[in-house]
Amino acid sequence: MTLTRQRLLKALGMVAVGMVGIYFLAINTFPIVTNDSLEYLDHSRAPGTYGMIFKGYRQIGYPAILLVGRFVAGLVGVEPLLFSALLQRLLLLGALAYAIWLWRWRANPLVVLVLTPSFLVYPNFVLTEGMTVPLSVLLACLVSHHFRLAASAKPDGSGEDNRIALALAILASAVVFVMISIRFPLAVFGMVPVAILGAAWFRNERIQRSYGAALLVFVVVSGTFSGLLAIENEREFGVFSPGTNDMPAQYWGAWHITFGLHPENKAEPSLAEFWDTGRPHPRIALVQSANRGYKAQAVAHDGDIDEMLELAGLDRNRERFFSFLGALRGGRTDDLISYMGAAILADARSVDGAMFQSLFAIRRGGEAFAERYNDGQLPQAVITSPVFPRFPSPYLRVMLSFMVPAAMVGVFVLAVYKRRLWMGLAYLAPVLVLAAAMGWILMDNVRFLLSGSVYGIAGFSALWDAKRVNRPPFGAR
């Protein structure tokens, strides 16, 4: 490579990095607090009262992160909720920088997706998705880096320590996913360590013991945690399961299909009792107050789903299939869309309206919210958008609708062509299983699928960057 070409590539790289920074800073950093956020904040302030799992499905992982964040924020003198948003955005920025360093220009599909304004808003949410979306990008990079080192391994075992360190980082990330899952779908990322360690097991006898021990630790930690959740749910709801919100979640998903994807049903008289106030939650609350015990409530919700779909002329099993297909396209519905416009366009004068999205804050005001949920401190914001202009971009759901299926096909084709089937499995399996699980409960919602979607798209960049190998497809010895 000539010196002139090197300088040109370096200059282009600096311009690209500068553009990434402009796009990033065009979206202001501030905490967005929704109704769900309030329950995480309560849980983080009194973990002993709320236990390992709240309401049978909100696990302690994210409240624990908020608790630690509040402690660190106090040490450095930053408002706690702003600190959480900064932490989540920095995690996304660091993961994106890792991806660009790792895959160079082949990271472009991921970069284009991440720099969508709606995507950049996600780390501002005080929700599990604020943490899992950046973490999924980081996990995808760790997986790719691990397979790169494994492909270039020397017979003398040099570089083994680096690969083991990456494997441990992958295990730690997967454990975090298991701990902060909602209704347990993100626990599918626990399949990633299995694929990683399976590949290592077949490739090199020398590292079987250390990798096997790491996998055992993951299984024991995740299994113990899941067991403790199940025990707590058995005690409170009479259901031995890590998550007990399946039927209300299915009703929530069916409601959004009935009225979100088919808005003409809003004016249908026979569906008036389900449309109610334009939200699914009043009906869920009514069922739970009218039926004693979780099992009776589940039966009532199940009956409501069948009745609502039948009145709308929809078939439940057919909708599950369509929901699965929708999940493979990033999701057909988006329950956070109503917050996105205000968050993207927020400036110093309107940022309060974008931050306070919970009914509590809307009805009682920011001061009451601060006193109740944030130790008397009003949430703060870092306003950078006046300096860095926003650029037009397609809406996130539109981009996902073609990027996710294209990436999945690309991962499969590249894994076969490059004889990297273990690597392909590490990227494909979690996304497909997540889509199947969310499709079954009729929740092909962008919010719940975004971690899997971005992980799959990053997987395409990883396979694109990977070198073709000559050993047998599954690395048999």
Q: State pLDDT tens for residues 238-263.
A: 888 887 777 888 888 899 999 988 98
Q: How far apart are CA 209 and CA 219, in angstroms?
A: 15
Inform me whether the pLDDT recorded for 195 exceeds 80: no
In sequence order, the 6+-apart residues with CB closer than 8 A to the CB of 360 are 35, 38, 368, 369, 372, 373
**Residue 148 contacts residue 172 (beta carbons within 8 Å):** no
In sequence order, the 6+-apart residues with CB closer than 8 A to the CB of 71 are none
For 321-335, what is the mean pLDDT? 91
Say if 177 falls within a structural domain.
yes
Residue type, 128: T
Say if 304 falls within a structural domain.
no
Give the number of domains in the chain: 1
Structure token pair of residue 420: 């990297």
Q: How many CB atoms lie within 10 A of CB 437?
A: 20
Residue with tokens 């701990």: 179
Say if 267 falls within a structural domain.
no
Q: State pLDDT tens for residues 72-125.
A: 998 999 999 999 999 999 999 999 999 998 998 899 899 989 988 889 999 999
Element (DSSP H or E) covering residue 5: helix 3-25
Say if 402 falls within a structural domain.
yes
* Nearest residue to 113 via CA among 325, 393, 464, 462: 393
Say if 9 falls within a structural domain.
yes
Residue type, 50: Y
Element (DSSP H or E) covering residue 282: helix 281-290
Predicted local distance difference test score (pLDDT) of residue 2: 62
Predicted local distance difference test score (pLDDT) of residue 96: 92
Say if 277 falls within a structural domain.
no
Q: State pLDDT tens for residues 205-246.
A: 455 566 667 777 777 887 888 888 888 888 888 888 887 777
* Nearest residue to 123 via CA among 136, 133, 110, 113: 133
Q: How confident is the model at residue 390 (pLDDT cuts 50, 70, 90)?
A: low
Q: Which domain holds residue 150?
A: 3-243+330-465
Mean pLDDT, all residues of the chain: 84
Q: How far apart are CA 416 and CA 469, in angstroms?
A: 11
Identify the residue with better confidence: 324 or 443.
324
Structure token pair of residue 263: 């808005």
Give the CA radius of gyration of the chain: 23
